[in-house]
Amino acid sequence: MFKSVTKLADGRELLYFDGTETVRDAADTRDLPALPPASELRYDPLLDEWVAIAAHRQTRAFLPPTSECPLCPSTPERATEIPAASYEVAVFENKSPSLSDRVAEGMEHPGVGRCEVVCFTDQHNSSFTRLDPERVRIVMEAWADRTAELSALPGVEQVFVFENRGEQVGVTLHHPHGQIYAFPFVTPVTRRHLAAAERNPGVHAEELASAVADDRVLGENEHWVAFVPYASRWPYEVRLLPRRRVPDLPALTAEERDSFGPVYLDVLRRLDGLHGQPMPYMAGWHQAPVRAGRDLAYLHLQVITILRAPGKLKYMAGTESVMGAFINDVRPEDAARLLREVEVSG
């Protein structure tokens, strides 16, 4: 894997990741406005959680037509966020970040951190599902590289790598891409995971054993297992665990990175085939914090969908949104069976 680093016209960092050595010297010729200041963090003492207030994001791009996509390669007629005429995987600092190192003077609790966009392909009408394992491997390298680099930034406590797919889950750009957030705090879900692992260090191994016993496994190979959780909150929810317990993406071996793509692509293609349409989903990596609880964390990928049946979305109702008490309309055992029954072509 080869990484090239350059700058956009407003000073934001842009990185290219390629499978073979490639010269990336195209310059960003745009005349860009000044970047917004960092968001403000506000603490909720009732929930013991931080909330980022980022009012400048109201003006970010929202579902532009293909001809105006900012993630497509640049052309002589139109410059985009990616100056190159083509690329494999590109990563750049978000122009409208929820977190950044640009701190406004006098702000008591600035949202210090970083937000990056990860473009999986230069093909606008593609998707992660259509990538081949070789491209997924490059994406994995980009994820691991950015996790390591962002973890070293001052003030960063946790790095979150994720993808949202589909307008139903709030996607504002159709081009296949994900994001990375470098948080200045440990997120609430991660704190709960660490607390559970502290109470029971074998909790992840027990969860996996339960999935095998209850026939909720969707796919596996030498290094990875994909299964439907016993207490799924969402109609179709999948977890992918490496068989070896590691804290984060940089800790994966070359063999583990190689073998992730085939299992994950199979899961995504089963989701797409379930209702005969592209499945809207959210996929996020649960990684160890930068400093706290690294000996307790167990890297895994969580994939959740909100399409419970063709034309029917699972909305966050009052019990979930207000009280955090989830109600799932699909039995996890049935979800696993239906996903296994989907005929998948490579």
How confident is the model over 165-210, as pLDDT tens digits?
988 888 889 999 999 999 999 999 999 999 999 999 999 999 999 9
- pTM score, whole prediction: 0.95
28-37, 138-147, 213-222: which range is least confident on average?
Answer: 28-37
Per-residue pLDDT of 279-322, as tens digits, reads 999 999 999 999 999 999 999 999 999 888 888 888 888 999 99
Residue 346: pLDDT above 70? no
Q: What is the pLDDT of residue 58?
A: 67
Q: What is the pLDDT of residue 110?
A: 84
Non-local CB neighbours of 327 within 8 Å, separated by 6+ positions: 317, 319, 320
C-alpha 40/C-alpha 104 separation (Å) is 9
Task: List 51's β-bridge partners, or say none.
Answer: 42
Non-local CB neighbours of 220 within 8 Å, separated by 6+ positions: 226, 263
Residue 59: pLDDT above 90? no
> Is 275 a catalytic site residue?
no
Regarding predicted confidence, which is higher, 59 or 218? Answer: 218
Residue 57: pLDDT above 80? no
Catalytic residue of the set 174, 175, 177, 300: 177
% of the chain residues with pLDDT over 90: 82
Q: Residue 290's closest CA among 206, 190, 170?
A: 190
Q: What is the pLDDT of residue 106?
A: 73
Non-local CB neighbours of 253 within 8 Å, separated by 6+ positions: none
**DSSP secondary structure code for residue 14 in this structure:** E
Q: Is 17 helix (H, G, I), strand (E, B) or coil?
A: strand
Residue 237, φ and ψ in degrees, nearest 5: -130, 135
Task: List 17's β-bridge partners, or say none.
Answer: 3, 89
Domains identified in the chain and CATH numbers = 2-186 (3.30.428.10), 189-341 (3.30.428.10)
To the nearest whole number, what is the mean pLDDT of the chain?
Answer: 94
